């Protein structure tokens, strides 16, 4: 079974941050993400550390990337009113929710996303965060 990684988690696999080691140690199986992660990750790397774009692409090629389909769009548009997420975060949560029992849960380092995903019954982890 797989975990869904949002872009904040994927970036920790590329850029060395305090949680990176714990995340790498935790991941021992294939992971999944949405196609929007590719855009978010590459754009972030181009701004933060352009020399890491190639490493980012290599990491992304190892992740199962699901397309943004009509179901994910509709789910993101129609999340309950008590779910407060920015647009791209809503798409991540909708994508993870849509995958249901095929994933163990969502790995994110975005506190707002984590809180709202939990409200929807999605298991959320942030390895390395105390």
66's CB contacts (< 8 A; 6+ apart) are: 32, 33, 34, 35, 95, 99
The pTM of the full predicted model, rounded to 2 decimals, is 0.94
Token pair for residue 44?
Answer: 């972030």
What confidence tens digit (pLDDT) does each residue in 39-84 have?
999 999 999 999 999 999 999 999 999 999 999 999 999 999 999 9
Examine the pLDDT at 130 and tell me if it is beyond 90. Answer: no
Distance between alpha carbon 56 and the CA centroid of its chain, in Å?
Answer: 14
Distance CA 86, CA 124 (A): 18
Which domains does the chain possess?
Answer: 2-125 (3.40.50.1010)
């Amino acid at each position: 079974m797989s975990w869904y990684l949002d872009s904040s988690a994927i970036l920790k696999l590329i850029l060395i941050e305090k949680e990176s080691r714990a995340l790498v140690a935790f991941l021992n199986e294939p992971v999944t993400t949405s196609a929007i992660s590719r855009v978010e990750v590459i754009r972030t790397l181009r701004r933060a550390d352009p020399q890491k774009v190639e490493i980012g692409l290599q990491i992304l090629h190892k992740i199962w990337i699901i397309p943004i389909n009509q179901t994910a769009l509709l789910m993101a548009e129609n999340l309950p009113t008590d779910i407060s997420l920015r647009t791209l975060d809503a798409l991540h949560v909708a994508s993870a929710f849509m995958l249901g029992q095929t994933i163990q849960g969502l790995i994110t380092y975005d506190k707002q996303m984590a809180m709202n995903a939990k409200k929807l019954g999605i298991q959320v982890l942030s390895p390395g965060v105390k």
